[in-house]
Structure 1
Amino acid sequence: MSNESKRPARGCLFIVSAPSGAGKTTLCRRLIDISPNLRHSVSFTTRPMRAGEREGVDYFFVDAEKFSRMIAAGAFAEWAEVHGNRYGTAINTLEQWLESGYDVLLDIDIQGAGQLRANLAAGEGVFVFILPPDLAELRRRLEGRGTDAPEVIERRIANAQGEIQASSGYDYVVVNDDFETALNELKSIIIAERCRATRVLPALADSFSIHV
């Protein structure tokens, strides 16, 4: 039997959050590269495009007016304003992948994660928080990016302290001290969740006459 035929009827939704500078985006991109059944849900944002980013790959870049229209139309599964910019996940994007049996990775802030936690059915989402080893290292990474003014970095550090407090509400916490170790831990979470009995057995019920 092929891996395609073993795919559960509905995919699993993985929600990953972190303070800015913790390395979440890089980890998520690499995780997508090495996980064949995992799809990245591209968010909409009003933030300006940064150097090296691509439309429809990193984000869907829209103006504030279009974003507001999408909110009014109920197009978002979650949305939030972060550092003065809005970010949102389109419901259609999620449902297309999940209903096709693919797992979906959402790289979102704690506000959006909180909305999803409140709105999703019990057990629907797996919530993972990425931590830096400490605040000093977080500052070093933010300064090393060379994309933010000093006052923006200070705001991000201040926000990070509050965001980190939210990590206790997540299912898993991964400390991104060594990149490869953190990546392996994330991959292990994906594998473990794919092997949950509640996800695997329904797809095999007919083959083994299992009542689930």
Structure 2
Amino acid sequence: MHSSMTLAAPKPARRPAPRFLLLAGAALVLGGLGFGAQTYLGHGPAPITVTDTSGGATFNFRVTGIPVPGKIQGVTPKLTFSPSDLGAAQGQITVNLRGLDTGIALRDEHARNYLGVAKHPTAIFALSRIEGARTLKPGQTLNATAQGTLDLNGVKVPLSAPIALSYAPDGSAINVSTAFDVTFKQHHISIPGADPQTDVKVAFRLPVRQ
């Protein structure tokens, strides 16, 4: 809330831009929009808490020829990331599969059963490296490839996904988006009447400074 007083408060000293980020916040594999707390390791020894985070993803597959679009809330990136050295990025992105939403409660329950959510409530993409881009500067948008593994239903499968990285001109955040296919059989998932693959689109925001 803004104060109605006319006296201006002294401006706080600016923090130097962080060099390496340890991010944990909102946004993978099947989602809507969400908000949550996010932390990263700043320039000093103490972590900085960032609360302005958002992200989401969507999926779409067909069962007996009928399109079934859906979403999930609860996507959490936790990455060691530096815009000046993209090749060194590591970490993981976790999605809470309990939040799967296709718009019909009974269908949601069946989908969670097929995905093995009771035993494996999260899907995790473990990032091993980013290829095709080395550095990212404010105001710049780059295309690259994220290499890693997708752990779904307790089965890890190599995944190579194209990503777009867009750095805000003011240097405040990086917007990340990607699209890839998940093949159910590779993860030991069988859904009667469903297409063998589902396309997944993911987008989330990585704050670079508070």
TM-score by length of 2: 0.26
Q: Which structure carries more helix by proportion? A: 1
Output the TM-score relative to the length of structure 1. Answer: 0.26
More RCO (CA 8 Å, sep 6+)? 1
Q: Which has the higher strand share?
A: 2
- Report the structure number with the largest CA radius of gyration: 2
